[in-house]
Structure 1
Amino acid sequence: MQVLFILFALICGAFGAWESGLRVRFGVGMAIGTEAFIPIPRTLSAAKSQGWAKTARPSGPLPSLVMYCADDRMMCALYDPEGVVAGIQIAIAQIDISGSTLNWKTQGFVEWTATTADGTKLKYWAIQQYFVSKATLDMSKEDRMKMTNSSSLLREGAVWLPGFNGKLMRISAKSADLEKSSFTRQACLPLMGRHYYYKMTPTTSCASDKLLPWFPIAHSGQTIATGLILHGKLAFNKRTKKNWFENPDRAAVKAIVPRGPQCLYNLADNPGVVTIHSYYVEAPWTINCTGN
């Protein structure tokens, strides 16, 4: 029975019958659900039942959304007035990362202070992504509920990401739109998908306002994930021993971005890079590159 389930999941992945989901962190040989492909609560009630705490947000777009965070405050989810997930916030404690040569604020991050579950007050670099627009939140409750009833996480057919200096960018949920955008086609990897990097070529400058930290990922005609890349050396989170992030080496970066500049690969060596994948499908471990 387990073999049949795996085969069915792989067939669904090959032909694009993706079930909507919300999971973070890529990993191979790790426990699914706890160490890799970690599910994020898609409703406010689920967040509360899992012990996520209501936490004050940094100033920014869509202030009507409420935020609940995991114990370490490094992963948070944003919920709309109906209690449906409408975005996530990714944060990294400033004491945990060192050596970055890029300007965090130019990259789209905001400085944020929060208190962890054990009472430790920390400063973070935080960045958000949104699954709804201001126009939707300004609708009447009735009209908004019609859209909320959609099974798709990206209910408006897009995700909004803070670009350089925090300016929101709309990323289409259709990979055909990515092909026509300023994002260049890079490698497809199993368990990840087809990567797209903003204006990435072998001559791209590794400046704070040139290396966009976000990269959309597509499969079967859909944008199924986004990745976030940070530059610096990340210390292990000893406070909760929870690792939300990935640490690709130079070879991995070059495999994912084969048409990138030498300076990007050099950054992977020194000071290093940190990434995190946010998946919008329920079973990302079935992603393959057949026909993609």
Structure 2
Amino acid sequence: MSIYTSQFLNTKFGFSLLDIYYEIVRTRRYGTSSSATNIPKVPVTTMKYLIVLLFGAVCIHENNALFGIKCPRKSLKAKYSLAPWAGYYDIPKTSDDDLMADYVQIDEETAKLDVPGTMWCRPEDPRVCLIMDTKGQNVGMQISFLDQDTEGVVGYDYSAVNTYTRTNIFNVSANSMRVYFTNPKNLTSEGRAASDETVDGVWTTLKGELVELPKTDPKVTRSGNFYRQSCFPQMGQHYFYDMYDNMTDCSQHVPFFGIYHNGENVGFGIANYGKASTAENGRDWYETVPLLGVKMIMPHRPQCVDDLVTKNGLYSLHVYFVEFPYLIGCLFQ
């Protein structure tokens, strides 16, 4: 039951395990929690009890990893956040999902899909869009880096990497990456085959080639063109495409990565250079990554990556297929 503790606290009391974590130091020092987070003021004894719940949930999740218990890949969530309430957005998995009320269909001529299906975006926001097959199943996402967010980037050429599709949705031009949850080459007007899981796998085009992420954690330094980097709590074990220490040219690399936990692929992500914006009254989709974060997540990287981040900034998006990504740990990974 402890694995559901975080969701229970959020639903019942309006705060999460991370709120509790942030209050530890304050509680130890002042005897009660502060109002700086969502937690109401509580005495030390109560706070200690909540701390036990926090570590109990994380420990059980990590013990699952130790004993090889897999997390069902039946969810779809986007955006890592240190504070779970500020991210891990639920993404519609089917066209009849109640969440689809927040999306509008993009006309076929504008969407320019290369698979049978339809595209859906939040109104006036082309940053993250959904690709639905003819049955109304979510078979992919389009993640866009808007020209307005990347026009000042120096030292990186989006047009030269043979990875992005040029798009113009809501009259906003962008370089867009399409990531599929089933092999797009096999997707027909019949739609994706029925499955209990959100994804069959992860496919995307990288440097002109359709690439599938390894379905299981390779647990090696290199698997194909994916290089093992760090495991980060609440994120998972990262494998970055073509990212290694002795790279000499960063002008055309693609910061796409797979995310692994308990030995299996539980998500993916993409990062790129620039300064992320948010649609007016829209969702804050992207994660701004400081240089320190880059160093922690990508220990095996060339100096030119640091230079690009320092000059231009970096922003990213994590997408997960599991229900509680904020309980992901790294102890047994």
> Normalized against structure 1, the TM-score is what?
0.84
Is 1:281 matched with 2:322? yes
Report the more deviating stretch, 44-53 or 121-130.
44-53
Query: After the TM superposition, which parts of structure 1 deviate over 6 Å for at least 4 consecutive aligned residues?
Result: 1-4
Deviations 1:35-58 (A, max 9, x none): 301111000112674231011354
Q: Which runs of 5+ in 2 are unaligned?
A: 7-55
Structure 1 or 2: larger strand share?
1
Distance 1:251 1:154 in 2: 32
Distance 1:24 1:274 in 2: 14
Q: Where in structure 2 are the equivalents of 1:106-255 lying within 5 Å? A: 106-107=160-161, 108-115=163-170, 121-138=171-188, 141=190, 147-148=193-194, 150-155=195-200, 158-164=201-207, 166-176=208-218, 180-209=223-252, 211-234=253-276, 236-237=277-278, 239-255=280-296
SS in 2 for 1:263: helix
Assess if the C-alpha contact under 8 Å between 2:141 and 2:179 holds in 1: yes
Assess if the C-alpha contact under 8 Å between 1:206 and 1:264 holds in 2: no
Which structure has the larger Rg?
2
Offset, 1:2? 7.2
| Structure 2 counterpart of 1:291, one-letter code | F
Is 1:73 matched with 2:118? no
Q: Which residue of 2 aligns with 1:24?
A: 78
- Determine which structure has greater relative contact order: mean sequence separation of CA pairs < 8 Å that are 6+ residues apart, divided by chain length: 1
Q: Where in structure 2 are the equivalents of 1:34-73 lying within 5 Å? A: 35-46=86-97, 49-56=100-107, 58-62=111-115, 64-71=116-123, 72-73=125-126
| Structure 2 counterpart of 1:159, one-letter code | V
Deviations 1:223-262 (A, max 9, x none): 111110111233x325234210011111110110111111
Q: How many residues are matched?
A: 273
> Normalized against structure 2, the TM-score is what?
0.74
Distance 1:78 1:199 in 2: 27
Structure 1 or 2: larger helix share?
2
